[in-house]
């Protein structure tokens, strides 16, 4: 044993130095590194988990040299991927903050070391919210088996359940929503055997029965008022139809829809004729950060459906809201005019600093997740200028999106990896409102997304971890009769 | 105390095995339940094998959480059996053994408290190994009851030992008869012959052995599932419109099952739709079935998803599914054989199955509103797809929608899609134009069909006042569309 230890350290050093010399004595291919996930040129937060990656071309051995400031790190590919040590990664991020991390990759291909063009990771100054929450669901149409709302720590790789349907009699659950990224104040809907809307405010949990005689359905797409008392919802009569031959497999459409506001103090639903038209579809509401404006999508009524689905084009509209008087304004402003622009805008979300409105733009309809042409667009609310998030978008579907609390990051669902399964991507929005190249939320195991048979649905940033209230929520959902909400007309 | 009952009573231990057999007849029972039971039995065997009481208790205390983590609710059964065994053996330290049960219950409570599972009913009972949401029958409990029972019996009968060779043989024979009797009785109660036949036919449909389905189908089966598979087999052999009324048809649902949001419904609909070339909706149904499968998906439906995605050229998703299948033992070869189609339109189009289906894709997109409309579009897109036009006509005839049949004749007869009419269509022409025999010739109705109709009419008139007219007509002309139209 003594003999072995005697030579162990020199041997390690020799191997390490060989590795370095291998990477420097190589043949330059002049090609970009064929990496997956595609992190090259992305802007990343200074608190993100290690961006492990792999080479998609066959190789024998491979090395990646990361350098930022005075820091340098060499990682050898093992088990088919570059696994970056978390502590060294943190040091790299710190060294490259507001600057870049340069990555040089070399691979042993057919007996020769081949060098690829270095790529850069831009490290932003602003951190991202530490967690995201999302629903994990197969991208199916009607049936489901296991599903749940989960949260992921972006600074590491931990994923924990917020609620799983194994504890709610196998019910469907959807539309989780947090008030201003606050993990202590959220809501979600349960459908099926246990059907209700669960409102969670710290340890106070309420079960709401939200179907009323005056509304066409239970409450659907939510958005919290910043003060937490109100929540805007849509009510929808939604159906789906299948394309016989089209890259967009399915069309999800409404026969009717309206927008309402729920008052959590009085358990009342407020409506106004401005949001409750029979000749229009109103949907996808969201409040401005000051709580004085309610944005929503609105389209002319189209029938019959689904034959007329291609004629549904949603405009982005806004109406004022007075939370003290619980009243709406008398006029509706149009932010994006679908009649003029010819496309369809859905899921508006205002940045917490109130400067920008982010939305999904499709050729028609409102369910962008099933539209390959759907992209993210942004409106500068001070100038009214609309522009696509060109750097963040892809040829495949980009849809549900949410803002980080500092208005510098967005997370959205994209199907760009395989065309069907939504994955959470994060993009940096700089001071000028320009989106930078998006990156997929990193996984410890690079092959995870390829194997994983669930979509990430409705990714939302949260400022911390949601406390474990699964038992309390499940018990309330299954055993409590719930509170019947009432509908009233707002003044 | 020996590990097994007294030597002459060793067959008592076959009771749990027979009990498990009963559970296996129910396809909502998970095989994981049996694996868990075997693991628990092994752990119990180890426990009993430890002679020192405190060491044995320690082994038990360690085994309970291990079993609960790996195998689920059998941990409680393990604890109960240990207590029963200690009591039956009369061991000195037996009063400590209930701590194992307490441990199991506390762990179960923790499992629910920390939301690994929804309720105690699952983690403390064999319901854990049964399709969630359904109520299992008593058979899932038999194994759980018979193991402690066997332990107790072995104790009660410990002095019941063979004193002679003759008596030993007698004891063994008696036990054998008892176990065999229980097994036969259980099979009689829980075995489902219909289910067996359905599984047999389902297997043939899965491997595309259509001849075997036709051969094994009963002519007058009341089972819709068997009828659907039979009609599918007839359509794949180009015999649907020719022979369908030779078998007992039971309306449109016997050709295409209604959607009832179940796994089985999704599987059958997907198979049928794939056969006729309605690929988009076949894919939808395959996906519905796949996502609603309890456990870890269905390789059968994953194969269908691979095929449909290859037909549509959705390569990355097809590759993802192939990679999943490649990691299975039974489907690895199939997956590897299908890799050659990835990113290769020419290979797909040259393939007899995938190429034919791709050629049947509608030229222009529209929504799938009704299957009849889809079939019509598919038949027009690919006139060589005789399955589509035959199923289109068959659905109309089964629905007794003669106006649509007339439209079909006007639009399709004499075209490449339908150059001549198969037998059932000819019979329907006679029903449609009964008073105009000259029209029959326009549609090429054969002299044999005409003669058969003459016989049908004559028989009908002859027996029209009889109460058992339907039965009389069934015997003589039950294989015709006229009989179906009038009496079904």
Residues A352-406 have pLDDT tens digits of: 999 999 999 999 999 999 999 999 999 999 999 999 999 999 999 999 999 999 9
Q: What are the residues whose beta carbons fall under 8 Å from the beta carbon of A456, sequence distance 6 or more?
A: A134, A135, A136, A413, A422, A423, A424
Provide the pLDDT confidence category of residue B204 given band limits of 50, 70 and 90. very high
Retrieve residue B220's tokens. Answer: 């007058």
First to last CA, chain B: 69
How many angstroms separate the CA of residue B320 from the nearest CA in chain A?
6
Partners of A74 in beta bridges = A65
Tell me, what's the ipTM?
A: 0.91
Retrieve residue B456's tokens. Answer: 């049908």
Quick: pLDDT tens for A403-423. 999 999 999 999 999 999 999
Q: Where are the alpha helices (DSSP H) in A293-344?
A: 338-341
The residue with tokens 């040089």 is: A104
Q: Distance between CA A68 and CA A101 in Å, rounded?
A: 5
pTM, full prediction = 0.89
Partners of A182 in beta bridges = A179
In this predicted structure, what is the pLDDT of residue A91? 97
Question: Do the chains contact at A242 and B133, CB–CB below 8 Å?
Answer: no
Q: Distance between CA B71 and CA A86 in Å, rounded?
A: 34
In this predicted structure, what is the pLDDT of residue A392? 97
Residue B371 vs residues B255, B280, B381: alpha-carbon distances, Å: 11, 12, 15
Q: What part of B 184-223 touches A (C-beta under 8 Å)?
A: none
B436-468: b (≥16 Cβ within 10 Å) or e: eeeebeebebeeebeebbeebeebbeebeeeee
Quick: pLDDT tens for A275-290. 988 899 999 999 999 9
In this predicted structure, what is the pLDDT of residue B8? 62
* Chain A to chain B Cβ contacts (< 8 Å): 114
Q: Cβ of B342 under 8 Å from any chain A Cβ?
A: no
Measured between beta carbons, which residues in chain A are less than 8 angstroms from residue B377?
A: 244
Q: Distance between CA A215 and CA A192 in Å, rounded?
A: 19
Q: Name the packing angle between helices B165-190 and B139-156 (round to 10°).
A: 160
* Mean pLDDT for chain B overall: 90
Closest CA to A336 of A350, A317, A319: A317
3-class secondary-structure state, position B416: coil
Q: What are the residues whose beta carbons fall under 8 Å from the beta carbon of B84, sequence distance 6 or more?
A: B148, B151, B152
E strand segments, A391-440: 398-403, 409-414, 423-428, 439-440
* pLDDT of A92 strictly over 80: yes
In this predicted structure, what is the pLDDT of residue A100? 97
Contact B186, B146 (CB under 8 A): no
Quick: pLDDT tens for A422-467. 999 999 999 999 999 999 999 999 999 999 999 999 999 999 999 9
How many angstroms separate the CA of residue B255 from the nearest CA in chain A?
21
* pLDDT of A6 strictly over 50: no
Partners of A334 in beta bridges = A317
Measured between beta carbons, which residues in chain B are less than 8 angstroms from residue A243?
A: 280, 365-368
In this predicted structure, what is the pLDDT of residue B220? 64
Q: Cβ of B109 under 8 Å from any chain A Cβ?
A: no
Q: Please indicate whether residue A165 or residue B221 has the higher confidence score (pLDDT).
A: A165
Contact B9, B159 (CB under 8 A): no
Measured between beta carbons, which residues in chain B are less than 8 angstroms from residue A147?
A: none
Provide the pLDDT confidence category of residue A190 given band limits of 50, 70 and 90. very high
Q: Cβ of B461 under 8 Å from any chain A Cβ?
A: no
Q: What percent of chain B has pLDDT over 70?
A: 97
Provide the pLDDT confidence category of residue B86 given band limits of 50, 70 and 90. very high
Provide the pLDDT confidence category of residue B13 given band limits of 50, 70 and 90. confident
Q: Distance between CA B164 and CA B162 in Å, rounded?
A: 6
Of B133, B364, B367, the CB nearest to A251: B367
Contact A117, A31 (CB under 8 A): yes
Contact A269, A488 (CB under 8 A): yes
Of A167, A242, A417, the CB nearest to B368: A242
The residue with tokens 């200028």 is: A385
Q: Are strands A385-388 and A159-164 parallel, antiparallel or unpaired?
A: unpaired
Contact A313, A344 (CB under 8 A): yes
* Mean pLDDT for chain A overall: 93
In this predicted structure, what is the pLDDT of residue A230? 97
Cα–Cα–Cα angle for A138, A140, A143, rounded to 5 degrees: 100
* pLDDT of B241 strictly over 60: yes
* pLDDT of A9 strictly over 80: no
Q: What are the residues whose beta carbons fall under 8 Å from the beta carbon of A26, sequence distance 6 or more?
A: A106, A112, A113, A114, A115
Q: Helices (H) and strands (E) in chain B — how many of each?
A: 27, 0
Q: What part of A 315-374 touches B (C-beta under 8 Å)?
A: none
First to last CA, chain A: 87
Q: Cβ of A246 under 8 Å from any chain B Cβ?
A: yes
Closest CA to A186 of A142, A148, A231: A231
């Amino acid at each position: 044993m003594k003999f072995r230890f005697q030579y162990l350290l020199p041997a390690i050093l020799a191997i390490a130095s060989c590795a370095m010399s291998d990477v420097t004595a190589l043949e330059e291919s002049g090609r970009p590194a064929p990496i997956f996930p595609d992190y090259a040129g992305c802007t990343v937060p200074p608190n993100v988990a290690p961006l492990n990656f792999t080479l998609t071309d066959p190789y024998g051995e491979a090395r990646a040299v990361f350098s930022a400031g005075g820091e340098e790190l060499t990682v050898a590919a093992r088990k088919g991927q570059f696994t970056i040590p978390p502590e060294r990664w943190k040091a790299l991020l710190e060294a490259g903050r507001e600057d870049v991390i340069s990555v040089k990759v070399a691979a042993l291909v057919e007996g020769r070391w081949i060098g690829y063009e270095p790529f850069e990771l831009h490290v932003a100054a602003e951190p991202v919210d530490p967690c995201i929450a999302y629903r994990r669901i197969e991208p199916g149409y009607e049936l489901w088996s296991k599903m749940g709302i989960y949260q992921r720590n972006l600074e590491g790789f931990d994923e924990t359940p917020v609620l799983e349907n194994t504890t709610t009699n196998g019910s469907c659950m959807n539309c989780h929503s947090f008030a201003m990224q606050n993990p202590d104040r959220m809501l979600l809907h349960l459908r099926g055997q246990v059907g209700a809307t669960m409102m969670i405010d710290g340890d106070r949990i309420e079960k709401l029965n939200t179907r009323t005689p005056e509304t066409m359905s239970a409450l659907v797409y939510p958005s919290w008022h910043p003060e937490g008392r109100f929540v805007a919802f849509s009510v929808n009569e939604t159906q789906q139809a299948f394309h016989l031959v089209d890259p967009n497999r399915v069309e999800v459409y409404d026969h009717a829809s309206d927008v309402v506001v729920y008052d959590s103090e009085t358990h009342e639903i407020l409506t106004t004729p401005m949001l409750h038209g029979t000749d229009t579809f109103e949907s996808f509401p969201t409040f401005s950060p000051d709580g004085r404006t309610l944005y929503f999508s609105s389209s002319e009524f189209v029938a019959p459906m689904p034959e007329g689905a291609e004629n549904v084009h949603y405009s982005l509209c806004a109406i004022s809201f007075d939370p003290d008087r619980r009243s709406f304004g008398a006029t509706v402003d149009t932010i994006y005019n679908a009649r003029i622009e010819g496309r369809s805008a859905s899921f508006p979300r205002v940045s917490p600093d109130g400067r920008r409105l982010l939305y999904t733009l499709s050729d028609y309809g409102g369910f962008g997740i099933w539209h390959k042409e759907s992209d993210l667009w942004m409106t500068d609310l001070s100038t009214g200028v609309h522009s696509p998030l060109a750097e963040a978008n892809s040829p495949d579907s980009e849809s549900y999106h949410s803002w980080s609390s500092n208005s510098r990051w967005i997370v959205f669902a994209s199907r760009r990896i395989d065309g069907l399964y939504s994955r959470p991507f994060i993009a940096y929005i700089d001071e000028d409102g320009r989106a930078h190249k998006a990156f997929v939320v990193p996984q410890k195991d690079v092959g995870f997304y390829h194997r994983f048979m669930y979509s990430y649905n409705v990714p939302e940033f949260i400022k911390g971890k949601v406390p474990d209230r699964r038992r309390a929520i499940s018990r309330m959902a299954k055993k409590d009769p719930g509170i019947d909400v009432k509908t009233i007309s707002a003044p | 105390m020996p590990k097994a009952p007294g030597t002459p009573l060793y067959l008592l231990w076959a009771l749990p095995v027979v009990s498990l057999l009963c559970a296996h007849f129910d396809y909502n029972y998970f095989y994981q339940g049996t694996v868990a039971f075997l693991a628990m039995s092994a752990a119990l065997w180890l426990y009993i094998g430890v002679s020192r009481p405190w060491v044995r208790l320690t082994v038990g205390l360690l085994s309970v959480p291990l079993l609960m983590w790996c195998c689920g609710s059998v941990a409680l059964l393990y604890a109960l059996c240990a207590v029963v065994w200690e009591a039956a053996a009369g061991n000195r330290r037996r009063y400590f053994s209930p701590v194992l049960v307490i441990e199991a219950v506390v762990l179960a409570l923790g499992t629910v408290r920390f939301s690994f599972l929804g309720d105690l009913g699952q983690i403390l009972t064999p319901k854990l190994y049964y399709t969630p949401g359904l109520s299992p029958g008593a058979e899932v409990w038999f194994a759980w009851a018979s193991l402690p029972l066997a332990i107790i019996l072995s104790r009660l009968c410990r002095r019941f030992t063979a004193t002679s060779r003759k008596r030993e043989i007698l004891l063994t024979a008696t036990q054998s008869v008892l176990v065999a009797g229980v097994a036969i009785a259980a099979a009689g109660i829980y075995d489902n012959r219909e289910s067996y036949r359905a599984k047999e036919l389902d297997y043939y449909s899965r491997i595309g052995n259509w001849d075997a389905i036709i051969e094994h189908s009963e002519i007058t089966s009341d089972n819709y599932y068997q009828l659907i598979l039979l009609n599918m087999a007839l359509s794949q052999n180009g015999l649907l419109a020719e022979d369908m009324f030779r078998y007992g048809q039971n309306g449109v649902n016997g050709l295409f099952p209604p959607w009832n949001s179940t796994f089985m419904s999704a599987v059958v609909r997907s198979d049928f739709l794939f056969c006729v070339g309605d690929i988009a909706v076949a894919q939808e149904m395959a996906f519905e079935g796949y996502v609603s499968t309890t456990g870890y998906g269905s390789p059968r439906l994953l194969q269908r998803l691979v095929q449909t995605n290859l037909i549509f050229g959705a390569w990355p998703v097809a590759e993802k599914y192939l990679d999943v299948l490649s990691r299975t033992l039974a489907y690895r070869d199939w997956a590897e054989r299908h890799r050659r189609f990835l990113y290769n339109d020419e290979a797909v189009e040259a393939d007899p199955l995938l190429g034919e289906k791709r050629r049947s894709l509608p030229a222009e997109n529209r929504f799938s509103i009704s299957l009849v409309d889809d079939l019509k579009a598919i038949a027009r897109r690919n006139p060589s797809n005789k399955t589509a036009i035959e199923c289109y006509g068959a659905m109309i005839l089964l629905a007794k929608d003669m106006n649509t049949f007339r439209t079909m004749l006007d639009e399709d007869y004499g075209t490449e899609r339908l150059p001549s009419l198969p037998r059932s269509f000819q019979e329907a022409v006679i029903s449609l134009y009964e008073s105009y025999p000259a029209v029959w010739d326009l549609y090429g109705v054969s002299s044999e069909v005409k003669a058969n109709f003459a016989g049908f009419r004559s028989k009908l008139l002859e027996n029209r006042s009889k109460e058992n007219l339907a039965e009389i007509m069934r015997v003589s002309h039950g294989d015709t569309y006229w009989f179906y139209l009038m009496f079904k």
